[in-house]
Amino acid sequence: MFPKWFNKWNRENPTNIYGPAVIIGVIGAAVFTATMLVAWGQPFATNSMQTGPRGTGMSVPEFKAALATPDPDIELLLEDPPYLPEPGEELAGDIYENVQVLGDLTDANFNRLMAAMTRWVAPEQGCAYCHGDGGMETYGEDNLYTKVVARRMIQMTQTLNESWAGHVNANKEVGVTCMTCHRGQNVPSDIWFKLGNVNEATEGWPAIQNRATAQSQSTSLPSDALEKYLLDGEIIGVHDLESRVAGVPGEDGYPGIQQAERTYSLMNYVSNSLGVNCVFCHNSRAFYDGSQVTPQWATESLGIQMVLELNNDYLVPLKDEYPAERLGPVHQDAPKAACKTCHKGYQQPLQGTNVIKDWPELATTGAPDYGD
């Protein structure tokens, strides 16, 4: 087909046709992919919420697929509106023995709430989880620790809704019930205990880090951040604009690198608990400046103070009520709460579902408001 001279030249001058073919193929595939993305949309498109001035990186990007994934526990919520009390209706405190809380509820609403608490906390054990296997005549007894703890948890829930609305209802009415933490379990997930030293190979400061723990979110950061900030109330503040500060860090009135690492540990925990990143609360150009933070920073600051109160006023004092198997494995301390205990990885617990609307009995320490 070709002249002899061409065949001879072609044999003596072989050409690599595979390289150019691969390049052309790659370019063609890239063009095809780009065309499909434009035509059909990005398979992993993101959405973002602007939390500060433009040009400062103040946005919180999230994959739309993740935003569309509901918290599976929302399916456990049931509509259960209260019964409007009738004038002169007998109250639970007058009907039953030893009703130390909720005694001002009508019998119907009292039992409605007891049934709901069973669903929220002990769906398998039922009423016997707090009241034992005896008959109704024994329900007034305080023989089980679960009943004593449940009574105090009711008071804690009422306080949360009444005194900490600035955090709980920061965006809209959401409220807190037993379900917010328990999700159908006797013991809520994501509680925490004191660990002490976690690195047996060292002493002093290094002994509390460089081991993957739940408290450090599986990082090498300090494992005592929850203890220091959400139990002991240590001040969170490590930034100093001076390049040189006289004195010894940690001893002369200003924090050292240890406190900075502990702060990173806490912030990492908060970020994972809410499923957000740093700029959800902070301005990325001035983490230290409280005048440049987002509104969420104030909500989170309230949350830290709220958890401090919960742990110190309600949870830790119950230590002597718990059996040994409910206490911490290292220090035998009472279980404590933190951000993830309620949030479970979402910006708002149960993705902002209003869980309190049917439960005015848990919304206040006073008499419930059933409306008109």
CATH code, domain with 171: 1.10.468.10
Confirm or deny that 114 is annotated as ligand binding: yes
Q: What is the pLDDT of residue 44?
A: 67
What is the span of the domain harbouring residue 37?
Answer: 4-41
Confirm or deny that 36 is annotated as ligand binding: no
For residue 369, is it within any domain? no
Confirm or deny that 239 is annotated as ligand binding: no
Confirm or deny that 267 is annotated as ligand binding: yes
Residue among 365, 368, 366, 342 nearest 158 (CA): 365
How many CB atoms neighbour CB 370 within 10 A? 14
For residue 99, is it within any domain? no
- Please tell me whether residues 153 and 14 are part of one structural domain: no
Choice among 14-18, 19-23, 159-163, 228-232 with the minimum mean pLDDT: 14-18
For residue 95, is it within any domain? no
- Please tell me whether residues 154 and 34 are part of one structural domain: no
For residue 341, is it within any domain? yes
- Please tell me whether residues 11 and 72 are part of one structural domain: no
For residue 197, is it within any domain? yes
- Please tell me whether residues 25 and 65 are part of one structural domain: no
Confirm or deny that 331 is annotated as ligand binding: no
- Please tell me whether residues 32 and 63 are part of one structural domain: no
pTM: 0.83
- Please tell me whether residues 11 and 67 are part of one structural domain: no
For residue 253, is it within any domain? yes
For residue 134, is it within any domain? no
User: Span 52-75, mean pLDDT?
Assistant: 76
User: CA separation (Å) from 56 to 93, 136, 250, 285?
Assistant: 58, 63, 32, 7
The tokens for 182 are 């328990």
Confirm or deny that 181 is annotated as ligand binding: yes
Cα angle for residues 119, 333, 337 (degrees, 5° grid): 45
Confirm or deny that 1 is annotated as ligand binding: no
CB 343 within 8 A of CB 269: no
Of 179 and 56, more confident: 179
* Helices (H), ranges, 215-325: 225-230, 257-274, 295-309
Confirm or deny that 153 is annotated as ligand binding: yes
pLDDT digit string, tens, across residues 6-62: 677 777 777 666 667 678 788 888 888 777 766 666 666 777 777 776 776 677 777
Distance CA 212, CA 91 (A): 52
- Please tell me whether residues 241 and 296 are part of one structural domain: yes
Beta bridge pairs of residue 106? 91
Confirm or deny that 136 is annotated as ligand binding: no
The tally of domains found in the chain comes to: 2
Confirm or deny that 49 is annotated as ligand binding: no
Q: Strand, helix or coil at 50?
A: strand
The tokens for 10 are 């072609």
Confirm or deny that 178 is annotated as ligand binding: yes
For residue 289, is it within any domain? yes
